[in-house]
Each structure stands twice: as C-alpha cells, then as structure tokens.
Structure 1
C-alpha cells in the first residue's frame, strides 16, 4: 500500500508553491492557516502575495492587525488572520523569527491547533508525524474501514493515520513517512473525493475495503454540514467588507446599509465582531479595523 501510494504521488502531486523545498516553516504555517476550510485554488494567489509582503514573522508583527485583516480579503473565517498576526508577534519576540519544528512547542503558539502543528512539523521539517485532514479521514474511512464517509471527527482519526505510516522492521517510522502523509492527503483531494470518487484511478483500489464491499452508501450518524447564505457569518463578512474597503473609520450608518435583510441579525453580527476583536470602536464612536486608527484623528467615511 505504501509503495503504490508513493509511486502514484510522485507522478500525480500538484506543483503547489508551498511545496517548494526552499520555503520556510513560516511560509508553510501561512499556507496551513489559509487552507483551513478553504479550497487550494483560492489560496495560491493570496499566499504568494503574503510571503512576498511578510517573508518573516517580524515583518507581519510590525503591521497593525487591521492591515493583516484587510490583506486577508475573501479567504473567510477572518479570525484566522488575527491569530496568525498574534502568532507572528510571538515568533518574532520569543523564537528568533523562526517557526519551531517541535509539535508540542508549535501547539503553544496562538492559533495553532493539533492539525496545524503536525502539518508544519511534517511538511516544513520532515517530521514523521501523522497529519489528519478531511481528505485523509475520507481515504482511511474507505480503504481501511469500508465506509463511504468518515462521519464526524473523533480521537480515532489520529491513531488510524499513525498506524498507516510506513515503518522499518523495528517499528520506527521510515524517512518516507512525511512524504506518505502528504501523499495520503493528495489522494483524498484528487482521487478519493467526497463526491464522484475516481476509483479507477486509485493506486490502492484493489485493497480498498469500501470498493470490495460494493461501495455501500454511508449509513452512520448524520454528518454536520455548514451553510453560508443568510447566516450570521455572511452578515459578519458584509460588515467587514465595508471596513476593508475604507481608508478611515466609518459611521454606524455605513455598516447598517451593508446588511439590511435583518437588523437584529446585523446587530448580533456586529457585536460578535467587536467581541472577537475584528472591529474596534474609536474614541469618537466610529468603527475601524483593529489597531489602525487608535492614534489617528477620526474621520467618518459614509460613501
């Protein structure tokens, strides 16, 4: 199984910019934060812009948080941008402007969870640690457990991925382990997709338990799904759009016209943005991106 997947990966792997062997752990960290719940195609251009603009953590740390939010644009889940800015400040101040290579140390950084810590350790530094995303969980569900979908995340996912790492005769992960982790992820992204999997192109189709069972439909507990249209999340995005497009603080009226379908929902969205630190209120009662206008004279932008 290992050799078949690795041979396939050698030929099929995408030429993604963050896979360049010359990039740093900081660049990989940026890519992993951006790729959370965001398709690869939407990340490539912003990632390239960010690594040119902020090649090291201290370059980002020197910017106000609002400017990082503005550069985040339409990537979604903007709290990720704030966490990355906080992380940059810690890396610059406490880690000599370098992203650590140890999973436990990485987990102590702002905004870095278990997946991100393992992904950076694996893909930036070649650590033999399992990396589990949605694609990996789906491949394991089908090939190992014979299920169409993996269901909701559980603690078993990491153990399953770790059990699949290639090992030597003494049971230690081999040098191919980090490459295999990337290959397993790529297999789920390109072949073993959620809808219309291309089983005829799969390098392990002969070993897949789901295929051997006749590709039965998923029958487990309902899977959590997320919608966007009409949600508080969409309302938050519309309000942030106003501030990202403005060169100065704005009056409340400029935010009110950005989301008119439900005033109560708009108020709720604004309150949550303030609570999350994505918007600040200036001394004059105007609204601004965080850190940009604390010492500047308030000037409303209403058009």
Structure 2
C-alpha cells in the first residue's frame, strides 16, 4: 500500500460533509482540482474507490461510507488532542468557524469579531450566515448562534448581546393609503410582509400589551426569507414589516419608516452563542468566549 496522508482523509470527510468538491474547496481555501488530486491519491493508495462522482452530486461508495463511519470520530479525537496541545501556547492561534443567522452577524458578530481580531492577530475567523438549524459539529463549526429554545441539550449556551426587540413598521406612503393599525387585530386588514424560515414555516408575529398576549400569522401578498429584503419592501411601501429594531431604527429616526403598535412590543431573549459541551474548546475559542463576555455591547450601537 502506498503512503497514506492524514490530510487526504480529512479532505475526504470534508467533501462528503459539504456535498461536493467545490463547496469543500471553498471551505478549505484550495482549488477544486487540488482537492480532486488529493482524493485521487487517497483512492490510489487504498486501492479502492471512495466516492461516486456525477456531474451533479458526490456520494460515498460502500467502502467510502464504512471508512467515513470510522474516520469521523477518529478525526474528532485528533482535533481534541490538538486543542489540548494548543492550550500550552502563549498566543491563541488557529481558525474559528461560526454559523449564525444574518441579523446576529450584522449587528453582533461582525462588530465583536472585528474588535477581537485587532487583539488576537494570530486567530482566523470564518463566519457563515445561515438561518437554518444545523448540527454544528457535523458541519465542522466551532460555534453557532441561535435563540435559546433552538439549542440541542449537549450544547453550552452563552448569551450574546442584549435582549432583542422587534419593530412593526411601514412607510408613511403606505399608511396614508391604507390607514394606521391601532391594535394587532387590525393587521388582518393590511398587507403584511411575511418571512419564511429555511425549514418552510412562516414567522409568527408575537404581541403583548401586558395583559393580553397575541400571536399573529401575517397575511400578505409578499413573502421573503431575508430581513434585509423585508426592510427593503417596507421602505418601498409594499406593506407592514416585522423586523429587528436594529434594522429599523435608523429609518424610523430619518422618517422613512413609522413604527406601529409600540405598546404591544413583547420582551424577547437575546441571541445565544453555543458550542459542544463534550469538546474541549481550543485556546482561540476560549479567548473568544472570554472576550465576548466582557464586550461592551452598547459600543456596537
């Protein structure tokens, strides 16, 4: 048998996890052709084909799947061993990969990470903006950001930033044409700009005036899956939008949007950054967690 290289096994796992050579190449910062050559060398050394390749998909062969079942936990142990050695470094190094929804990236992670990187110059950070609920361990992330209720039980969760506030907004032009709702019940007479999660469900708008709680499934002609696009639609006068206060505030202050139903705002939890409790955090991850806990969030605006 020819010489086997550990990076070849790691590349094989990455290709299967990412669903193809191109996505795995982007994740690893190499070319697809280089990754293909790595797998060709691995298959030649093993003397067996590991991947079924078509123009549209890549999947493991029976031999590849058996190898994958053994490799995944073995590589996790190797990463753990490296993390333990990494503890002895004076300066944290390495790469942190974080998966988070776009609003958390826009208003919390980016300001936090930009400042963190000024202090820890040997640490590289990759942030993937994604609203879908994923297995961060399986997908190769060090941490994820979600609401607390979406977290798996085997995760450690740390509050990320202040509590959230949603604003119900519409443009002055829209309100002049359609009138201003005084209670959530009146939203049935309006075009609401709806948002659909990656899993297919529609976002429910929650309200409370302190004595009454009300959940509204909005009705409207326009459905989107991006907070940025919801805001864009509201600014264009296409309806009533339900967006995070961080997105809406500048436009409310400028008069381009009007905030509605202010007395019905519910209190919401913060975002949570979470990471596996069964994995020893690397020195870089521990430095990031410590920095996050002491970060002055008011400075982000």
Tell me which interval the TM-score lies in, with the shorter structure as reference length: under 0.3
User: Which structure's residues are more often helix, by fraction?
Assistant: 1
State TM-score, norm by structure 2.
Answer: 0.24
State TM-score, norm by structure 1.
Answer: 0.24
